[in-house]
Amino acid sequence: MLNISKNPLNDNVDLTKYKSAKHVFGKQYYKYFNRFLSVFAIVSFLILFLPWTQNITGRGAVTTLTPDQRPQTIQSQIPGRIEIWFVREGDAVRKGDTIMKISEIKSEYFDPNLVQKTEQQRDAKSLSVESYQGKVIAQGVRIGALTNERRLKLSMAENKIEQAILKVKADSIDLVAARTNLRIADIKYVRADSLLQDGIFALKIVEDARVKLQATEAKEMSQEAKLLGSRNEVLNAKIEISRLKAEYSDKISKAESEKLTAQSSQFDTEAQVTKLDNQVSNYTIRNSLLYIRAPYDGFINKAIRGGIGETFKEGEALVGIMPSNIDLAVEMFVEPIDLPLVHKGEKVRVQFDGWPAIVFSGWPNVSYGTYGAEVVAVENFISSNGKFRVLLAPDEEDHKWPKEIRAGSGAYTMALLEDVPIWFELWRQLNGFPPNYYQPIESAKSKNK
């Protein structure tokens, strides 16, 4: 039966006539396996037409949605020396709580009464400002008084000029009268002398006429001298006006110069007061900087500069702090070839490291342990790792993210794209084609409009 002979028996003997042979040769082997293969082939063929969600996968990390919620270090704005620590690593702090106390290391700030002494200097300078203000007011009053006095003096001098002019006119009239009298006296004398020669008048009458002529000449000369004196008085009055103007101009100019000097000193002192006031404010603020306080509610991560008595420079990090109230987000990185497929508002599934999950990348609805997210920002410039950074926020329509997640944890992301049959996805993967060019429905509708 082993068919090792060169004369096989089954070629000469019909074994099908026997009952045992009918039972053996008529039995169908691998019947259930063949049925399984048939069912598997049919199911596999049907599965090829099931929908498959194309996606873009990437690795990322948990971060915060806004920059002010991310971990940061606290620096000191002034150089100093650590004196006292009020917290430990891991302690919870409230906004404004004192973290440490520092002391000055610059000699110009060693004086503990520096603020009070600077305030005293400022107050003294403020009194000087008031004194200069009083001097300016006094000089203004003096200038007003000199102006009024000059006006009065000039009025008196002008009146004197008018009087002198009137006197000149009167003296001129008197001079004309005197000359007229002189001419009449001269005529009378000539007539008397002529009549004396004719023997009509006596000698006494001629002598009286000569005396009267001489008196009239003297009076005319006196009146002429008087007129010259009146004219000199007019000139003197005009010279007096010029002198008064020059005198009071000099006095008023000197008073204005003193006033301007007082104002200049006042402004300079006011500038010094402002400078001292600024110094008082700076010293007061500097004293408040000797206490390092928490900028917000959070937790102390790490003491970067430890110990007591250690010195540091301004702007040097002292302690790390993490906010307590943060809005978690995930930053994922995508390849440049996949960037056109990512849009703001697009849905993304996120799997957090250390969190149990069963993931079917093409069937997000049947995956377990993934959480919904939404694209809120896409970086416009490539990152140092050669990929583009995408920021994801929690999806409000999905269940909330676990509270135990901390910033810095790793995450696996899947950006959901278009639904295609499985056979098409296998064909795309075998040929190395990128996913279908995908645009959100809302943007496509707006483009159609």
Which spans in 81-198 are helix H? 114-198
**Does the pLDDT of residue 443 top 60, yes or no?**
no
Q: Whole-angstrom Cα distance, residue 316 to residue 311?
A: 10
When pLDDT is averaged across residues 441-447 and rounded to a whole number, the result is: 46
Which tens digit of pLDDT belongs to each residue from 136-179? Answer: 898 888 888 888 988 888 888 888 888 888 887 887 887 778 77
Which structure tokens are listed for 411? Answer: 């995450």
Domain boundaries, the chain: 1-47, 52-68+326-444, 71-104+290-323, 114-288
When pLDDT is averaged across residues 123-144 and rounded to a whole number, the result is: 88
CATH superfamily of 114-288: Helix Hairpins (1.10.287.620)
Sort 364 into a burial class: Cβ within 10 Å, 0-12 / 13-18 / 19+.
middle
Which structure tokens are listed for 86? Answer: 């009020």
**Does the pLDDT of residue 309 top 60, yes or no?**
yes
Same fold, 52-68+326-444 and 114-288: no
> Coil, strand, or helix at residue 253?
helix
Q: Whole-angstrom Cα distance, residue 390 to residue 331?
A: 6
What top-level class would CATH report for the domain 52-68+326-444? mainly beta
When pLDDT is averaged across residues 266-286 and rounded to a whole number, the result is: 90
- Give the CA distances from residue 385 to residues 297, 329, 333, 381, in Å, rounded to whole numbers and listed in that order: 34, 20, 9, 12
Let me know: does 322 contact 298? Beta carbons within 8 Å: yes
Let me know: does 1 contact 20? Beta carbons within 8 Å: no
Residues 111-124: b if buried by 16+ CB within 10 A, e if exposed: eeebbeebbeebee
Task: State which amino acid sits at residue 301.
Answer: N
Among 123-127, 143-147, 265-269, 440-444, the minimum mean pLDDT is found in 440-444
Q: Which CATH number fits domain 71-104+290-323: 3.40.190.170, 2.40.50.140, 2.40.50.100, 3.40.50.1000?
A: 2.40.50.100
Please state whether 379 falls in left (phi above 0), alpha (psi between -120 and 50) or beta.
beta
- pTM for the whole structure: 0.56
Residue-averaged pLDDT of the chain: 80
Task: State which amino acid sits at residue 254.
Answer: K
Q: Whole-angstrom Cα distance, residue 109 to residue 115?
A: 10
Closest to 72 measured CA to CA, from 274, 321, 287: 321
Which structure tokens are listed for 445? Answer: 């509708």
Q: For residues 315, 321, 324 and 327, what is the CA-based torsion angle, rounded to 10 degrees?
A: 60
**Does the pLDDT of residue 86 top 80, yes or no?**
yes
